[in-house]
Structure 1
Amino acid sequence: MKKMMSSSSEASKLDRKMVERNRRIQMKGLCSRLSSLLPPPHHIKSSKDMLSQLDQLNLAASYIKQLRERGEELKGRKEQAMRIGSSSDTINDKMKIGTKLPLIDLREFGSSIEVILITGLQKNFMLSEVLSILQEEGAEVVSASFSAVDDKVFHTIHAQVRISRLGVETSRARQRLQDLVF
């Protein structure tokens, strides 16, 4: 009887070890995936300077905080732009706003790129052309969305660098996008 309890105790220990081992493997995979989603830290110069898991988690937390702040800033700018568009009563005010369109803003966040394009309803262009320009310049489009408010169309495109060591030539991409839109 004692031998049976001993073997069941050993089996239980082995089960716990396997469960713990699987948990650690899963956590390592999740941390690796999280790390791959972050822009590369600029202060690391060689593979010897690799970040610990704790440093990677701290970096992820600060990156998420930056993205939230950036999202709030963009949301505020969008609301302000919408207020300006809807609150102006005179034709001259609307003409001034109309002359500013289309607007194009291309921003680089490490290995991520964000393109914000604001056009009027009368300006026609193919979104596929914008996406192909980004792809030709070395970016992989992750998401694209648009919304129409009054006489303005807001396009937001998120992309990531396809090959990190080559990067994306953002100035050339910006110029090509401006040539397309204007």
Structure 2
Amino acid sequence: MKRSNSESSKLDRKTVERNRRIHMKDLCFQLASLVPRHFFKHSKDMLSQQDQLELAACYIKQLRERVEKLKRVQEQAITTTRTSSSGMTSMMIGMRLPVVELRDFGSGIEVVLISGLNKNFMFYEVITALSEEGAEVVSASYSTVGDKVFHTIHAQVRISRVGVETSRVWERLQELIS
């Protein structure tokens, strides 16, 4: 009897370990799926799990650095806005509003639009332009800091075979803010 309990316990441990490995493999797959395709130099299928984890860690590090850079830019904008409210300067140094930044991530696009409170462009027109050029808006947000409005739009390619012509999107956005 003791022997069968021991064997049963051993099988339970094997099952628990197998389930743990399956769960870890699934988590690694989910992590790798969050990293944009263009970040991988080779196909994800050709890379070992360890290589995929290292690339994901590198991608996260780049995102963290980007967040820090954007925080510094935002803080500079806030400082400049505070300065402008005291009458010293009315614009961010070297920056004329509105400003459009477009980042192409292969399967996704990020649009950052900085405008003044007095610029009356229609936000839905930006979303319509993205949609008409083959991108589906996933999220859109804005924040107002002083007299500036920061819009951020994330979109992904609707049909991966066709893609999105970012230069055309850029031209349309320039037309809208002009």
Alignment-derived partner of residue 6 in structure 2 = 9
Return the alpha-carbon distance in structure 2 between the equivalents of residues 118 and 15 of structure 1: 58
Return the alpha-carbon distance in structure 1 between the equivalents of residues 21 and 161 of structure 2: 31
Closer, same or farther: CA 57–16 of 1 in aligned 2, 3 Å:
same
Alignment-derived partner of residue 25 in structure 2 = 28
Identical amino acids, percent of aligned pairs: 64
1:100 aligns to what SS in structure 2?
coil
Does 2:34 correspond to 1:37?
yes
| Unmatched 5+ stretches in structure 2 | none
| Unmatched 5+ stretches in structure 1 | none
- The Cα of 1:178 is off from its aligned counterpart by 1.7
TM-score under structure 2 normalisation? 0.83
Tell me which of 55, 58, 62 is aligned to 2:58. Answer: 62
TM-score under structure 1 normalisation? 0.82
Closer, same or farther: CA 164–51 of 1 in aligned 2, 3 Å:
farther
Return the alpha-carbon distance in structure 2 between the equivalents of residues 69 and 150 of structure 1: 25
1:133 aligns to what SS in structure 2?
helix
Q: Residue deviations 1:68-89, cap 9 Å, x none? A: 1111111111221232233135
- The Cα of 1:24 is off from its aligned counterpart by 1.5
Aligned length: 175
Q: Residue deviations 1:132-168, cap 9 Å, x none? A: 3223333333332211122211111223334444332
CA contact (8 A) 2:108 2:155 kept: yes
- Amino acid aligned to 2:12: D
Alignment-derived partner of residue 106 in structure 1 = 102
- Amino acid aligned to 1:102: P
CA RMSD of aligned residues (A): 2.6
Does 2:134 correspond to 1:138?
yes
